[in-house]
C-alpha cells in the first residue's frame, strides 16, 4: 500500500497528468514509430515467450486520439481482474490495520524498550515494520508512528533522523524485498506469467540482507551521535518532545482482541503460503482469504456489521486513485500493442543492450526501474507500465523473468523514500526534519542499498533465479 496519492510537490506533474501525457504520446507514436513484431512461442506455463532474432516489420495500425481513448477503455476492462483484486485486498488489509492491532504491538514493544538496549531498538523495529510491509503491504499506515519513534529516539540520546529512519527504512525495504505483497510482487508476477509468490526464498534473503546493511548504517550513526552529539546532522535543532509521549502510547493499549487479530493475520499469511505452494491458489482464492481475514478481524474487535462495512468502504475509497492508475497504464500498453509499436520499442531498447554482458543488462533493468519510480511512484501502477516491456526484454537478453520482477521490486521500493514525488516529503513532515537534511543523511545509505541490490541481481543470475 503505497502513499503515492497523498503528496503533491510544486513543479512536479501529478501522476494522472503524466499518464494522460503518455496516452497522447503513445497515440502519436503509432503514426511515427515503425510497426514491427517478434515471433512468440506460446508453449509452456509462462505464456508467450519472444523468440530472439525474430523481429520483423509488421502492418501499420496508427490510431487517432478517439481510437486511442477507446483503446484505453478496453485496457481498463482487461485490467478488471487486477483492479478488483487490488480493491478488495487493499480494503480488507486496511480493515485489519484499522483495528489498531499492529499499532498496539509496536507501542507495546516500544514501551518495553524505553531506555533499555537502546541500539537494539533500531534493527528490531526496522525488521518488524519491514516484515509487515513485505507481507501485509503496510506502508502509509506507519506514518502516524513517525513522531512516536522520533520522540523515542530523542529520549534514548539519538536524534530525529534515527527515529524517522526506523519507520522509513522499514516500509521502504519491506516494499523492496516484499515476498507476499499482493500489490507489487503479486501483480508483477502475474504480468510475467510466473507462479504467484514463486521465488520467495531468495527475496527473503535479499530483504534480510538489505535490512542488515540499513540497520548497521543507522546503528553506527546513532552510536556516534550518542557519544558526540555535535556530529549529528540535527545538532542544534532543539527537540520539542525529549521523552516518549505516554499519551500516544496509551492510545494503542494491547488488548486480548488485538492479540486475536494478530493471530488471525499470522494464520492468514500461513494459509496463503500453504495455498499458493501446494494448491496453486491465485487471485480468486487470495482475495477470498484477505476478505475473510478483514471481516474476521472486525468481528473479533466487537464491531457491528455496519462498522465493518464502513471501514471496508473507507479502505476501498483510499485505493481508488491507484486502481485508476493501473487501468490507465493497461490502456497505454494496449495502444502500443494493438498498433504493433510495442515490439519495436522493445527492439530499440534491446538492440544496444544486446552487446552488453548479461549481468550488465540485468543491472540496467534495476537502474531503469529506480528512475521510473520518480515518474510513476506507485508500485502496482509501475508494474503495469513497466513489466509488459521488461518481461519480453528479459527474454531477449537471457535474463529470467523472476530476475526482472526482482529488479522491479528493488527499483520501486527504497526509492519511495528518496524521490520527492514519492513519500519523502510526507515522512519529513511527520518527523519535522528538513528534507535537505534527510537527503544528506540518506543519500550514502541509498548508494549502499543500491549496491546491495546490484549484488542481489548478480546473485540471481549466478543461481539462475526462476
Mind listing the pLDDT tens digit for each residue in 405-421?
A: 999 899 888 888 888 77
Q: How confident is the model at residue 249 (pLDDT cuts 50, 70, 90)?
A: low
Residue 242 pLDDT > 50: no
Give the mean pLDDT of the chain: 82
- Domain segments of the chain as ranges: 15-27+61-339
Burial status of residue 270 (CB atoms within 10 A of its CB: 0-12, 13-18, 19 or more): exposed
Long-range contacts of 226-230 (CB under 8 A, 24+ apart): 226/118, 226/156, 226/157, 226/158, 229/159
According to the model, what pLDDT value does residue 456 have?
95
Residue 460 pLDDT > 90: yes
According to the model, what pLDDT value does residue 226 have?
84
Q: How confident is the model at residue 243 (pLDDT cuts 50, 70, 90)?
A: very low
Residue 141 pLDDT > 50: yes
Mind listing the pLDDT tens digit for each residue in 120-136?
A: 888 988 998 888 888 87
Question: Which one, of 62, 52, 121, 148, lies nearest residue 354 by Cα?
Answer: 52
Mind listing the pLDDT tens digit for each residue in 37-73?
A: 888 776 444 456 777 778 888 888 888 888 888 888 8
Predicted TM-score (pTM) of the model is 0.80
Asked if residues 194 and 46 have their Cβ atoms less than 8 Å apart, the reply is: yes
Rounded to whole angstroms, the Cα distance separating 3 from 315 reads 13
Rounded to whole angstroms, the Cα distance separating 116 from 364 reads 44
Instruction: Give the least confident one: 4-18, 140-154, 160-174, 275-289.
Output: 4-18
Question: Which one, of 31, 28, 66, 16, lies nearest residue 328 by Cα?
Answer: 16
- In the numeric block, which cell numbers belong to residue 68? 486511442
Q: Which residues pair with 50 in a beta bridge?
A: 40
According to the model, what pLDDT value does residue 2 have?
53
DSSP states along 190-218 = HHHTPPTTTTHHHHHHHHHHHHHHHHHHH
DSSP tag of 338: H
Q: How confident is the model at residue 161 (pLDDT cuts 50, 70, 90)?
A: very high
Question: Distance of CA 383 to CAs 182, 187, 310, 327, 369, Å?
Answer: 12, 7, 30, 12, 10
Question: Which residues have a Cβ under 8 Å from the Cβ of 42 and sit 6 or more positions away?
Answer: 48, 49
Mind listing the pLDDT tens digit for each residue in 286-308?
A: 889 989 999 999 999 999 999 99
Instruction: Give the least confident one: 108-112, 230-234, 410-414, 417-421.
Output: 108-112
Q: How confident is the model at residue 241 (pLDDT cuts 50, 70, 90)?
A: very low
Three-class SS of 381-393:
HHHHHHHHHHHHH
Q: How confident is the model at residue 358 (pLDDT cuts 50, 70, 90)?
A: confident
Amino acid at each position: 500500500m503505497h502513499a503515492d496519492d497523498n503528496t503533491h510537490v510544486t513543479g512536479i506533474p501529478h501522476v494522472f497528468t503524466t499518464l494522460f501525457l503518455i496516452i497522447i504520446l503513445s497515440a502519436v507514436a503509432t503514426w511515427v514509430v515503425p510497426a514491427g513484431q517478434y515471433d512468440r512461442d506460446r508453449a509452456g506455463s509462462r505464456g508467450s515467450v519472444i523468440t530472439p532474432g525474430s523481429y520483423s516489420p509488421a502492418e501499420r495500425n496508427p490510431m487517432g486520439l478517439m481510437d486511442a481513448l477507446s483503446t484505453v477503455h478496453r485496457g481498463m476492462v482487461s485490467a478488471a481482474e487486477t483492479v478488483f483484486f487490488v480493491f478488495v485486498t487493499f480494503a480488507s488489509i486496511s480493515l485489519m490495520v484499522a483495528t489498531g492491532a499492529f499499532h498496539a504491538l509496536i507501542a507495546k514493544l516500544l514501551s518495553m524498550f524505553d531506555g533499555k538496549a537502546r541500539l537494539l531498538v533500531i534493527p528490531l523495529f526496522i525488521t518488524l515494520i519491514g516484515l509487515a510491509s513485505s507481507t501485509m503491504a503496510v506502508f502509509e499506515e506507519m506514518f502516524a508512528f513517525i513522531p512516536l519513534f522520533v520522540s523515542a529516539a530523542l529520549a534514548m540520546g539519538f536524534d530525529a533522523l534515527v527515529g524517522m529512519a526506523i519507520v522509513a527504512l522499514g516500509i521502504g525495504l519491506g516494499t523492496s524485498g516484499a515476498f507476499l505483497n499482493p500489490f507489487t510482487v503479486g501483480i508483477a508476477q502475474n504480468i510475467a506469467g510466473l507462479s504467484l509468490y514463486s521465488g520467495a526464498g531468495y527475496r527473503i534473503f535479499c530483504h534480510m540482507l538489505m535490512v542488515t546493511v540499513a540497520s548497521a548504517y543507522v546503528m553506527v550513526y546513532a552510536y556516534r551521535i550518542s557519544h558526540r552529539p555535535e556530529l549529528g546532522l540535527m545538532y542544534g535543532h532543539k527537540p520539542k518532545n525529549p521523552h516518549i509521549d505516554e499519551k500516544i502510547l496509551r492510545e494503542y493499549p494491547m488488548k486480548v482482541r488485538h492479540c486475536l487479530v494478530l493471530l488471525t493475520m499470522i494464520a492468514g499469511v500461513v494459509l496463503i503460503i500453504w495455498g499458493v505452494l501446494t494448491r496453486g491458489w491465485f487471485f480468486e482464492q487470495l482475495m477470498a482469504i484477505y476478505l475473510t481475514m478483514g471481516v474476521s478481524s472486525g468481528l473479533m474487535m466487537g464491531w457491528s456489521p455496519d462498522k465493518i462495512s464502513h471501514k471496508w468502504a473507507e479502505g476501498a475509497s483510499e485505493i481508488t486513485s491507484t486502481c485508476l492508475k493501473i487501468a490507465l497504464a493497461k490502456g497505454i500498453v494496449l495502444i502500443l500493442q494493438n498498433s504493433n509499436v510495442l515490439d519495436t520499442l522493445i527492439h530499440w531498447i534491446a538492440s544496444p543492450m544486446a552487446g552488453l554482458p548479461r549481468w550488465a543488462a540485468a543491472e540496467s533493468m534495476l537502474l531503469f526501474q529506480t528512475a521510473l519510480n520518480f515518474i510513476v511512484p506507485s508500485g502496482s501502477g509501475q508494474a503495469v507500465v513497466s513489466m509488459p516491456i521488461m518481461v519480453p526484454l528479459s527474454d531477449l537478453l537471457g535474463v529470467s523473468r523472476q530476475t526482472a520482477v526482482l529488479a522491479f521490486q528493488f527499483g520501486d521500493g527504497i526509492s519511495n523514500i528518496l524521490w520527492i514525488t514519492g513519500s519523502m516529503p510526507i515522512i519529513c513532515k511527520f518527523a519535522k526534519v528538513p528534507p535537505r537534511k534527510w537527503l544528506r543523511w540518506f543519500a550514502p545509505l541509498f548508494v549502499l542499498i543500491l549496491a546491495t541490490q546490484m549484488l542481489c541481481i548478480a546473485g540471481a543470475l549466478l543461481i539462475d533465479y526462476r
